Amino acid sequence: MEAQKQPVESWATDFDHTHPDWGQNAPAIWDELREGCPVAHTERFGGAWLPTRHEDIAAIARDTENYTSNGVVIGENRAEIAGAPMGYAPPITSDPPFHKIARRLLLPPFAPKAIEALEHYTREYCHELIDELVAADGAVDAAEGYSQNIPVRIIAKMLGLPETDGDKFRRFIHNVIEAPSADRVIPEEETMEYYLTGHIINRRQNPRSQEEGGDLIDYLVQADIEGMPLADEHVFGSIALLIIAGIDTTWSSIGAAIWHLAQNPQDLARLRDDPETRPFAIEEFLRFYAPVTMARIVAEDHDLGGCPAKRGDWLLLPFPAANRDPEMFEDADKFIIDRQSNRHAAFGLGIHRCLGSNLARMELSVALDVWVERIHEFELVDPESVRWSPGQIRGPKELPIRIGASVPRS
Ligand code: HEM
C-alpha cells in the first residue's frame, strides 16, 4: 500500500508532481504557474525547482554545466553530484563527454531502417489486441487491453526477452518511476537487476552475431568503446533504460490519443476519412499530451530566473508544460488535429533528445492506424473513472471504454 500524499498547499511553493492532482490536472497547474510564478519551488524531495516556460525549459535542457543528468527521476535517494561520466542508465544519466559515446553506441538499432523492419510485426500485434477487445462483451479497458501492451511487446522483441514477461516489465517500471521510495524493500529476485543479469550472462555464454539473429542484448554485450568491451554496469544500465524509457512513455501517448478520440468523434472520423491528416495528428498528440518530464540535479549554485538554485537541488524539466506555452505555440491550449507548424518538445531538447523517437512515432502511428481502421465508434464508460498517472510520466493508466461500432480486419 502506498503512502497517502500530503495535500499540496500551493503549487508555486509546495508542488508535488507525484500527487494524484498532478496526474488529473497538470495542464491547468502549468498554466497557472506560467502566469504567476514561472519557476515554482518545493521543499519536498529535499528541495526542487519547476520551470514552466518553454524558454526556461529549453535553456536548462541545453545547460550541461549548471545541471547534471546524474539524477533524472526525483526520488528520496539523491545521487552523488560528483559528475556523471556514465551514471546508472547511460546515456540518459551520462554527462558530457561520456554521454556522446554512450549515445552513439545506441543509435544504429533505433535508426529509421531498423525501426521500419518492426512495423509489420507491430501492426499484426495491434490487430490481435483489437480482435480481443471487440470480442469482449461490454466495457473494456483500452489502457490495459491495448495501449500498455504495444511498447512492452516491441521492446521485448528487440531485446530478445520472452513476450510473456510483459507484467514483469510493468512492475519494474512502477518501482522506478511511479513509486520510488527509500523505504520500500523489493525482494532481490523481483528486481530488474536480478532479471536482466540472468539474460546478460546467457548472452555472454552463448554469443550470436547480428547476422545470426542476435538481439539488442547481444549487440550491447559485444559492443566496444575504442576496443574495450562495455562495463557490466553499462550494459545493464542501457538495457534497463530502454525498458524504462521505451514503455510507459509510449503507452501514455497511445492512451492519451485514445482518450482524446473517445471524446472527439469528429477527430476520429477525420483520421479515418482523411489519412493524410494522420502524420500531423501524431505530432499534435505528442505536443498536446506529451507524457515525459525529466529531472536534473543542480551542479553549481546559480541564479535561475531570479531564484537561488543551489548545488544539489532537484529540478524538473516539464517538456509537456513547454508544449503548452502560448509564447511558443499559437492557440497552445487547443488541440488542432492538422496543426502545420509544430516544433514540440515532447522528445526533449538538447543533447539528451529522445533516442527512441523513430520507434515511438512508429508505435503511436501504427497503434492509431489500426484503431481508427477497426473501431468506428466508442466512448468512455465514465470520464470520471479515467485515472491519469502522476509522477514524471503522465498518461491515462485506466481507460474504461465501450465500443459501439467496429469492423473486422479487411
Ligand atoms: C512517446 C514516447 C516517448 C517520449 C515522449 C519520450 C521522451 C523522451 C525525452 C523527453 C527524453 C529526454 C530526456 C532528458 O532530457 O533527460 C528522452 C530520452 C531518451 N529516450 Fe525517449 N521518449 C519516448 C519513447 C522512447 C522509446 C520508445 C525509447 C526506446 C526504446 C526511448 C529511449 C530514449 C533514450 C535512450 C533516451 C536518452 C537519450 C540520451 O540521453 O541521449 N524513448 N525520451
Concatenate the DSSP letters of all residues of 183-198 into one string: T----GGGSHHHHHHH
- Per-residue model confidence (pLDDT) at position 138: 87
Straight-line distance from the first to the last Cα atom of the chain, in angstroms, rounded to the nearest whole number:
46
C-alpha 190 – ligand 1 centre gap (Å) = 25
Asked whether residue 182 carries a pLDDT value surpassing 60, the answer given is no
For the four alpha carbons of 290, 100, 60 and 343, in that order, the dihedral sign comes to: negative
Please, are residues 250 and 364 in contact by the beta-carbon 8 Å criterion?
Answer: yes
* DSSP per-residue letters across 357-388: HHHHHHHHHHHHHHHHHHEEEEEES-GGG-EE
Q: Work out the average pLDDT over 59-81.
A: 85
Asked whether residue 2 carries a pLDDT value surpassing 70, the answer given is no
- Residue nearest (by alpha carbon) to ligand 1 atom 27: 246
Please, are residues 89 and 241 in contact by the beta-carbon 8 Å criterion?
Answer: yes
C-alpha 352 – ligand 1 centre gap (Å) = 8
- Confidence band for 179, pLDDT divided at 50, 70 and 90: low
Closest Cα to residue 68, out of 309, 299, 241?
299
Pocket test for ligand 1, best of 249, 314, 358 (most atoms within 8 A of CB): 249
What are the start-end ranges of the H helices in 92-206? 98-106, 112-116, 119-135, 142, 149-159, 166-173, 192-205
Closest Cα to residue 28, out of 48, 5, 8, 58?
8
Please state, in angstroms and as integers, the Cα–Cα distance from residue 358 to each residue in 59, 119, 176, 195, 353, following that order: 25, 11, 24, 27, 12
- The CB density around residue 331, as the number of other CB atoms within 10 Å, is 9
C-alpha 138 – ligand 1 centre gap (Å) = 36
C-alpha 203 – ligand 1 centre gap (Å) = 25
**Ligand 1 atom closest to the CA of 106, numbered from 1:** 35
- Residue nearest (by alpha carbon) to ligand 1 atom 23: 249
- Per-residue model confidence (pLDDT) at position 84: 60
256 in helix, strand or coil?
helix
Pocket test for ligand 1, best of 347, 389, 393 (most atoms within 8 A of CB): 347
Q: Which residues line ligand 1 (CB under 6 A)?
A: 61, 69, 72, 91-92, 103, 155, 241-242, 245-246, 249-250, 253, 290-292, 294, 319, 346-348, 352, 354-356, 359-360
C-alpha 345 – ligand 1 centre gap (Å) = 11
C-alpha 36 – ligand 1 centre gap (Å) = 30
- Per-residue model confidence (pLDDT) at position 3: 58
- Residue nearest (by alpha carbon) to ligand 1 atom 17: 354
Asked whether residue 293 carries a pLDDT value surpassing 70, the answer given is yes
**Ligand 1 atom closest to the CA of 317, numbered from 1:** 15
Residues 6+ apart with CB under 8 A from 329: 287, 323, 342, 344
How far apart CA 40 and CA 88 sit, in angstroms, is 28
Asked whether residue 369 carries a pLDDT value surpassing 80, the answer given is yes
C-alpha 274 – ligand 1 centre gap (Å) = 30
Asked whether residue 406 carries a pLDDT value surpassing 50, the answer given is yes
Which domains are assigned to the chain?
Answer: 20-388+396-406 (1.10.630.10)
C-alpha 357 – ligand 1 centre gap (Å) = 7
Burial of 223: CB neighbours in 10 Å, binned 0-12, 13-18, 19+: middle
Q: Work out the average pLDDT over 327-346.
A: 98
C-alpha 360 – ligand 1 centre gap (Å) = 9
How far apart CA 256 and CA 236 sit, in angstroms, is 31
Q: Work out the average pLDDT over 56-75.
A: 94
- Residue nearest (by alpha carbon) to ligand 1 atom 7: 347
C-alpha 103 – ligand 1 centre gap (Å) = 11
- Residue nearest (by alpha carbon) to ligand 1 atom 30: 246
How far apart CA 384 and CA 198 sit, in angstroms, is 43
How far apart CA 253 and CA 357 sit, in angstroms, is 12
Query: Which tens digit of pLDDT belongs to each residue from 225-275?
Result: 999 999 989 999 999 999 989 999 999 999 999 999 999 999 999 999 999
Asked whether residue 1 carries a pLDDT value surpassing 50, the answer given is no
**Ligand 1 atom closest to the CA of 158, numbered from 1:** 30
C-alpha 244 – ligand 1 centre gap (Å) = 9
Query: Which tens digit of pLDDT belongs to each residue from 185-229?
Result: 788 888 899 999 999 999 999 999 989 999 999 999 999 999 999
C-alpha 42 – ligand 1 centre gap (Å) = 26
How far apart CA 285 and CA 14 sit, in angstroms, is 30
* DSSP per-residue letters across 23-65: HHHHHHHHHHHHHH-SEEEESGGGSEEEE-SHHHHHHHHT-TT
- The CB density around residue 16, as the number of other CB atoms within 10 Å, is 19
Closest Cα to residue 232, out of 110, 88, 93, 95?
88
Please, are residues 311 and 336 in contact by the beta-carbon 8 Å criterion?
Answer: no
Helix, strand, coil shares, percent, the chain, to 5: 50, 15, 40
Pocket test for ligand 1, best of 92, 105, 293, 354 (most atoms within 8 A of CB): 354
- What does DSSP assign to residue 278? H
If you count DSSP H runs as helices and E runs as strands, how many of each does the chain have, helices first? Answer: 15, 14
Higher local confidence (pLDDT), 6 or 353: 353
Closest Cα to residue 17, out of 343, 311, 318?
318
How far apart CA 274 and CA 409 sit, in angstroms, is 19
Per cent of the chain over pLDDT 90 is 83
Please state, in angstroms and as integers, the Cα–Cα distance from residue 108 to each residue in 118, 355, 356, following that order: 14, 10, 11
**Ligand 1 atom closest to the CA of 151, numbered from 1:** 27
**Ligand 1 atom closest to the CA of 353, numbered from 1:** 12
Residues 6+ apart with CB under 8 A from 289: 252, 253, 256, 257, 260, 320, 395
- Confidence band for 178, pLDDT divided at 50, 70 and 90: low
- The CB density around residue 210, as the number of other CB atoms within 10 Å, is 13
Asked whether residue 7 carries a pLDDT value surpassing 60, the answer given is yes
Residues 6+ apart with CB under 8 A from 260: 267, 285, 288, 289, 335
What mean pLDDT value characterizes the chain? 93
